[in-house]
Structures are given as structure tokens and as C-alpha cells.
Chains A and B, each alone.
Chain A
């Protein structure tokens, strides 16, 4: 099965490894492609948009943002972690700067606030209860928070933070998953689910 990781900037290798591990656990042969061009999207069965700097990824992808948007909105099972979740959200703000005006995909009915938990020294890990996946060790690195979920999206994980209060840590809309944390650093469970979704479609 051919799956892709958007490979412009960010923790691409960590996602590739998570996909491979997920494939092994499911007994599915997985061919992981580093997606750098719009034309590589055609024959993919699932996609991960990695963590990184959402501004950098958005700028580097601007030439095929449209293609990417069509593929993800068209039902390609997609997991966006941290920066990936920011790119998938329809509304983006930054906790310090406010409006960012950055290029995004805007495919999920969620609103995110960037750097919602503070700066890097406030980055944290925590056990989070995620619907369908159980308890996951979640690593939040300069993470965004999902502050509003509407329409087709629904929250699948919540957390209580001393500063940010109660926020949504992960959301799902059809075959799109967005997480404020980095599952790729601690587990292959969500990548496994993507492969299962992809198998169901095929």
C-alpha cells in the first residue's frame, strides 16, 4: 500500500517510521513516499502532514496547496499532527501575534490557536484519553490547541491544562484526523487506523 508523508519540512522521518511500524503490526506491506510535489498525490492511499513550522510548510507547499486540498477534502485518509493540524484547520490564530494570514489548507471544521500552551519551556507530555485509541502518551511541543469544533468535525480527545484550560487535543472529520500533539513520537496507533481506513476504501 502506497502512503505518503508531506515532506517539505518537519518530523517527516518520525512519521515514515510510524507508518512502517503500523504496516508491520497490521501485516500490510507499506511503501512510504516523501511527498514534495503535487503530482505525487495521485496514487496515495493515506497521507500524514507532519509537525514542524506551519508557516514554513505552508509557504513551501503554496504551489500545490490547491491539489493537496482537493486530495484531502476528497476523502484521502489524512492525519495532521501539530503543524499539520494547523494547516488542516479552517481558522488559525496565534496566541501572541493574533491573525497570522499564513497559507493553509482549511479543510476541517476546527479553529486552532497556535502556541496556545506557551513557549517551548512550557511544552509538555501527558496521558490523553483518545476515543477509539485509548490512553496515549501525548507529547505537546509548542503545540496549538483546538479551541472550537463545529459542522462535520467532532472532538475525540480533550485535556485540561493549567494555563489554557479545557481544550480539544484531537478531532476527527470523516477520514481526516487532526491532533495538537505528536502521536508519531510515541505510538503507531493512529497511523494504523489510517491504514485501516485506507484498506476499507480500497
Chain B
């Protein structure tokens, strides 16, 4: 189903947030340009159509984590629809410990000047200023990510105030709807980043779609109370729940992320309903990044054609895949997915 169906409601929701005058004034004092003015010739930037429409162009594509220009070029040549610039790959973040922050602006800018595909970067949950810096630098998509160390345990960024689109992680529907009501233009599963283990992403997608299908059935059966209860339970607007129930999917593009390491992993997530794939450590922590990148692109684009997926899987060898981490061996405090719900 087309995400264009959700534009109208999301625009109303955006207007609602815009009309919260108190918040607007507070942010104005902090230097945010909000709302952005019309330019003289009617050119309007940062609108819902532009922000939610952009991820729609990434459909059936792969966004790859990279740490430098060489990796970004490998990603572009392999047919990636975007790169995510990081200081360390999630696997290394996990190993290094300490505080994980936004990537080096110089590296991000260098990557932007060398490739033609969109460049994304991660900010810490709740870190308005990292986001502000990335918007100024011209990053195309911001990931408010649990892989980095959160700075606000209570709140995420109000993403309506930015003209650059945001993607947020979720483990289930309520979390996804809260992020959308905060202005996220795209959702991804959290999975368990840096493990090379796709199990958590599978769990999160199944949980997400089970809930959506239940709401969809409730709506068709005219059980409006169920939708109301759900909205209350999730603390999100009823209209957003109703829209999701009606569309039978999230009203924004939904990618799979967290532990995807092989072409078969990517095809599996597409089959489970993902619109596209984020690959973190899976490519550049393997010993065959070039072939693996191409193979995952092929398996994502052609996931519904078994022959193509077989061909993709043949392009790589299990011996060169990243060594995974079993999620069950991680201590609760080592889990990234529980950050920022």
C-alpha cells in the first residue's frame, strides 16, 4: 500500500504540533527556525510529503553502515540506496564500551562529497544538538539510534521541528506509533545491533505486524473501542491508530535492521513485510564486503524470486560472514534494544 495515503493525516498531526505555541516559542528562543518560511516563489521545504516521501524512494533498497569514504564507495558501487556514516560499526561499539556519540562531522562531509546516494548518520536519543548539527551539515536522513548512548532517558527528539527526515527504531507497534507521533518519517526494527544475529529483528517484525493485523481486523469488524483502547495504552493519538489499522501497515516506510548479515537474512526480512534493509556490521565486518554488499542488494530487491536469492546467496560464503553473537549470551545491561522506548 502506498504511503501517500497517510500524508493528509500526518500533515494534520504536524500542524497540531506546530500549533503548540508554548513549545514553539521555547524552541524559537533556542534558535530553531520554525516554521520554515515560504520562499518568495512558493518553494516549500521540510513538508510531510517531502519528509515521508523521501523514504518511499528507498523502498526495496539497502542502506549500509560505513565508517569512511572507501566503504561508502563500495556501498554505492554495489547498488546501495544510502549509507549510514558511523564512527564505529555497531559490533565495535559493543566491544569498545564507553559512550558512543555522533560520527565525526569531517568524515560525514567527506563521504557526502564523494558519493551521489543519500548519506545518513546517527544521533543519540534525545540529543537535539547533534541532530541540529547534522541538519546543518546537510545529512539526508537522521537515525535517532539506540546504538549510541542515549542522553535523555525520558524523551525523544521532537522531529517535527526539523526539515530533515528522521528514522527511529521500534520493537513493537506502540513504540513505532509514539515515534511517528513525535515526527519520525521512517521506522526500522531495532533488532539487536552488532550481533550478526537476525533473530531479534524477526521477533520485532512479527510483533509489529501481528498487532497491525489485529487492529486491521478490529477496524473491519467495527470494533472502534479496541482502537481507542490501543491508542490510550500506547499514549498516541487515536487517529494515528485508526490510520494504521486502515492502511494495514505503518503509515511511514518501515525498514528491517539489527543483525542482518547474509542475503538470506535480508530476503527473510523482506518476506516478513520490510520495505527495505539496513545492514550494519554485516557487510564491513565480513571478509568479503564487496561481494556481500552486492549480494544483499540483489536479495533485497528480488526477495520474492527464489532463483535470484539463491544466486545472491551463492555470491558469498558462510566462512567469510561476520562471526555472530548469540543474543542469549548478552547480559540485560548489554542489550541496546531496551534503550529509549
Write the residues of chain A forming the contact surface with B, with a CB cutoff of 8 angstroms. Answer: 7-14, 16-17, 36, 51-53, 55-56, 59-60, 82-83, 94, 96-97, 100, 114-115, 118-127, 139-142, 160-162, 182, 184-186
Contact = CB atoms under 8 A, between A and B. Distances in A.
Given A17-B1, A161-B43, 16 more contacts: A9-B79, A11-B57, A13-B1, A14-B56, A16-B2, A36-B302, A51-B57, A52-B57, A52-B58, A96-B112, A120-B139, A120-B164, A122-B45, A126-B43, A142-B140, A185-B56
B45 A17 contact: no
A11 B59 contact: yes
Contact of A120 (B59, B81, B141, B298): B141
Nearest to A54: B116
Interface in B127-154: 135, 138-141
B159 to A, nearest CB: 13
Contacts of A59: 78-79, 297
24 contacts: A9-B81, A9-B301, A14-B2, A17-B2, A52-B58, A53-B58, A53-B82, A56-B61, A56-B117, A60-B297, A97-B113, A97-B114, A119-B139, A121-B135, A121-B138, A121-B140, A139-B49, A141-B50, A141-B53, A141-B57, A161-B41, A162-B40, A182-B57, A186-B4
Interface string B37-67: 0011111111101100110111111000000
B60 A53 contact: no
Contacts, number: 151
Contacts of B42: 126-127
Nearest to B138: A119
The 5 closest A-B pairs by CB, nearest first: A120-B140, A59-B79, A17-B2, A53-B81, A119-B138
Contacts of B140: 119-121, 142
Contact of A56 (B47, B53, B141, B297): B297
A9 B1 contact: no
A184 B53 CA distance: 10
Q: Chain B's interface: helix, strand, loop or mixed, by majority? A: loop
Contact of A142 (B3, B47, B54, B112): B54
B57 A124 contact: no
B60 A186 contact: no
B84 interface: no
Contacts of A55: 76, 79, 116-117
A8, A56, A142, A185, most chain B CB atoms within 10 A = A56
B182 to A, nearest CB: 19
Contacts of B115: 97
Interface in B88-136: 112-118, 135
A12 B60 contact: yes
A110 B165 CA distance: 31
B305 interface: yes
A163 B39 CA distance: 11
B43 to A, nearest CB: 5
A2 B82 CA distance: 32
Nearest to B78: A59
A184 B4 CA distance: 9
A55 to B, nearest CB: 6
B116 A115 contact: yes
Given A8-B60, A52-B59, A55-B79, A186 B1 contact: no
B56 A124 contact: no
A9 B60 CA distance: 5
A10 B163 contact: no
Nearest to A120: B140
Contacts of A127: 42
A114 B7 CA distance: 26
Contacts of B45: 121-124
B245 interface: no
A17 B4 contact: yes
Contacts of B39: 162
A9 B61 contact: yes
A29 B198 CA distance: 42
A80 to B, nearest CB: 14
Contact of A52 (B61, B113, B116): B61
B47 A125 contact: yes
Contacts of A185: 4, 7, 49, 53, 56
A114 B301 contact: no
A124 B143 CA distance: 21
Given A10-B59, A119-B138, A126-B44, A114 B116 contact: yes
Contacts of B46: 121
B163 to A, nearest CB: 5
Contacts of A97: 113-116
